[in-house]
Structure 1
Amino acid sequence: MFIHLMAGIVFIYLGTRLLLPLRVGKKTKLGLALLLLIISQQHFINRFVFGGLASPEIPASLLLLQGWCFLFLVLLLIFTLLRDLVLLIGWVARKIRGSSKSAPASQAFSSGRRQAMMVVLASGTAFWGIREAVGLPDVRHVEMVIPRLPKALDGLSIVQISDMHASPLLQSSWVSAVVDRVNALKPDLILFTGDMVDGNPTVRAADVAPLRRLRANYGILGAAGNHEYYSNFTGWMKAFPALGINMLQNRHEVLNIQGQPLVIAGVTDVAAERVGLPGPDLAAALQGAPEDAVRILMEHRPANAPENVSHGIDLQLSGHTHGGQIIGMNAVVARFNGGYLYGQYKVDTLNMYVSSGAGLWNGFPVRLGVPSEIPRIVLRSA
């Protein structure tokens, strides 16, 4: 309910600072206020009218319109806060100087023309953010040195797919294009690191069907993210293996590649505990795994990396953050994820790659300065 409460506060603030001062008729002002309320509470409407917050079953065009409206609202909030901050600084400066006159710059900044410029800038930026959000992810080529990696495995390629979020917004055609892009890389391994879907398996069946075409030399494995638990987790754990994806829930697989053992482990997400299912348990996931083999961990959230060092993890692959989605939000998102955002990290002896995600949640479809990606990670021995 936090998102609904914050949206209500935004509605009150923008209504007070932008709508009330408008020199228009009462009916026009009331209509604008109603429109602002609907935009601010679209997630509330989706939750209780269109089937759920995670995956409202409405046309993609309407989801895009919702996304544009919500981003427009966020940007308008930011611009209004900046404007009010400038006005406040000017007011304090005048008080210090003992002047009661309004500065011309402050008057200009709060003029109707300035407000119109804010609206136009927010509109255009929101359009660009939506356009970037639903585009195909670029391939990011990464090399990571794993000190314990046997020479025989030098050059092993892993394609990580994280935060795909197949949904009414990112449908089968988009998923199929992602599959084509991944297969063109001819990966040795494909590893899914959570948030693959939004919606029930029966509803999303056609959208995820292209995943059956994925090919990798040594296997396709995955671990769940928080969004898998938001809609029929049990059903998805049956659906993914049927698509050729070996889901690792607090367990591991030992692959024999070029005569060398390679441990691939996966843990569940903390969202599991909210629905009475086992939370992440790395000790259980690694039980019986050979100590001398390189260990690769799929964990949707990156924050546990420091604790995972003690389990001998050589490489952790995570997602969840979406890279912050908007430049400027990075610090906030990183704070809630152990300080990790996207890209390569070295945590003691543990190497980690945090993907900015192939897709994103349809409730906030925006990317500004943080592109989506499909990481192709090539392992190198020391």
Structure 2
Amino acid sequence: MFFPYVYAAYLYLVLRLIVPLPLHRYTRIGLGLALLLVCQHHMIQRWVFGTMYSPEIPRIFIVALGWLYCSFLLAFLLQLVADLGLLAAWALRRGRAIDGRVTLRLRYATIAAGAVLSAIGVGQAIQVPEVRRVELAIRDLSAGLDGYRMVQLTDMHISRLMHEDWVSAVVERSNALRPDLVVITGDLIDGSPQARARDVAPLADLAARHGVIASLGNHEYYFGAERWARTFEGLGMRVLANRHVTIEHGGGRLTVAGVTDRVAPRFGMEGPDTARALAGAPDAPVILLSHQPIGVDGNAAAGIDVQLSGHTHGGMIRGVDQVVKRANGGYVSGSYRIGGMQLYVSNGTGLWNGFPIRLGVPAEITEFVLRPAP
């Protein structure tokens, strides 16, 4: 996949970071070629493995490649900030030159800081996430559902990176909450059902009073949504593709609906259709599972009480999350109010191996407690 901005970042780093280094010309050429390979991380995966989403190589190599790629991007951001600082200093000094030793130290500091921050971020990204507790005040919620507890898992991206042991630990932490319901909002996997057979097996142990309900994300469609839906159902989940189910608890009722992902039409399948998902639903509060935080205005107008989404990974890096926010309709992490509807966008439980980093944006297992709205 061709990413023009990646090449722009590469050229910027070569010109501003590598060329000025006081090293032998061939050393600088070698560094430039090495950096070119690093920035082509996704393209190389696609050429070698046929996909950039699920390279079937040992985990240690995925971690190392992820660290190198994230180091490259962080070095670019840090060099950009450093150059802006140098430009401001030059202006304040009224055009007087800045000591070359200062700029050289800044370049070495940029390289070191990018590598160290990347190592920290990758280490945080592959940890088992902590629980984040959120209360949802829902209109017309019956007294019998007051205190009802749901656990949301999303964007686990089960792969050679987020593997069987990690999945088992997530399942154990989820089950320890003793939820009434587990909901999954897509991007559970990266890879085919055959490649991920062992890694997804622990999902069969997810336990909740009213079971596990899932919707699909864009990554399921990349690897065969119909096959994965059957696999998930074989693991004990109810997969909702523009459908709903009714939960009865404590004398009250709750509708849980799920829609397909917006990429579905690219694969000859039905796109997200909230109206169809709610067809025949009883008069009860509605919780909608939608992988991407899209269609929120229409969903609010349709009477949805709560929309649960993921997809953004919370932006992954504090500061960069504001860019991710703009690419997702203004929604990136946490709670939002759209008319009478609450939208919650999870930071995600796991992370895609192509950009495995978290800095200031922790992964989460989200525990919701339902309360009647005042």
TM-score between the two structures when normalised by the length of structure 1 = 0.94
Helix, strand or coil at the partner of 2:133:
strand
Secondary structure in 1 matching 2:256: strand
Percent of paired sites with the same residue: 46
| Residue of structure 2 in register with 1:26 after alignment | 25
**SS at 1:110's partner residue?**
helix
**Aligned AA (1:254):** T
Separation in structure 2 between the aligned mates of residue 82 and residue 293 of structure 1, nearest angstrom = 51
Shift of 1:68: 0.6
Q: Is 2:221–2:264's contact at 8 Å kept on the other side of the alignment? A: yes
* Letter paired with 2:30: G
What's the counterpart of residue 147 of structure 2?
A: 155
Aligned pair 1:376/2:371, yes or no?
no
Bigger shift: 217-226 or 48-57? 48-57
Asked whether 1:110 is paired with 2:103, we answer yes
1:129 aligned residue: 121
Paired residue for 1:330?
321
- Give the secondary-structure state (helix, strand or coil) at the position aligned to 2:263: helix
TM alignment of 1:1-382, pairs within 5 A: 1-3=1-3, 5-92=4-91, 97=94, 101-104=96-99, 107-111=100-104, 113-290=105-282, 292-382=283-373
Distance 1:225 1:238 in 2: 15
Task: For residue 88 of structure 1, report the CA deviation from its aligned partner.
Answer: 2.9
How many Å apart are 1:204 and its aligned residue?
Answer: 0.4
Paired residues of 1:132 and 1:368 also in contact (CA < 8 A): yes
Which is further off, 140-149 or 21-30?
Answer: 21-30
What is the Cα-based RMSD across aligned positions, in Å?
1.5
Residue 231 of structure 1 and its aligned partner are, at CA, apart by: 1.1
Report the CA distance between 1:273 and its aligned residue.
1.6
Q: Offset of 1:124 from its aligned partner?
A: 1.1
Q: In structure 2, the residue corresponding to 1:356 is in which secondary structure?
A: coil
Note the alpha carbon deviations across 1:224-263, whole angstroms, 9 max, x for none: 1111111122210110000011100011112222232221
Deviation at 1:24, TM superposition (A): 2.3
Gaps spanning 5+ residues in structure 1: where?
none
Q: State the secondary structure of the residue aligned to 1:280.
A: coil
Gaps of 5+ in 2: none
C-alpha separation between the residues in 2 aligned to 1:7 and 1:340?
Answer: 24
For 1:145 and 1:79, locate their aligned partners in 2 and report how far apart those are by CA, in whole Å.
42
The TM-score normalised by the length of structure 2 is 0.96
Q: Following TM superposition, by how much is the alpha carbon of 1:90 offset from its aligned partner in structure 2, in angstroms?
A: 4.2
Q: Which moved more, 1:123-132 or 1:252-261?
A: 252-261
How many aligned residue pairs are there? 373
Secondary structure of 2:196's partner?
helix
Query: Quick check: 163-172 or 256-265, which moved more?
Result: 256-265
CA contact (8 A) 1:40 1:70 kept: yes
Specify the code of the residue in structure 1 equivalent to 2:102.
F
- Displacement after TM superposition at 1:22 (Å): 2.4
* Structure-1 separation of matches of 2:354 and 2:98: 41
Tell me if structure 1 keeps the 8 A contact 2:143–2:252.
Answer: no
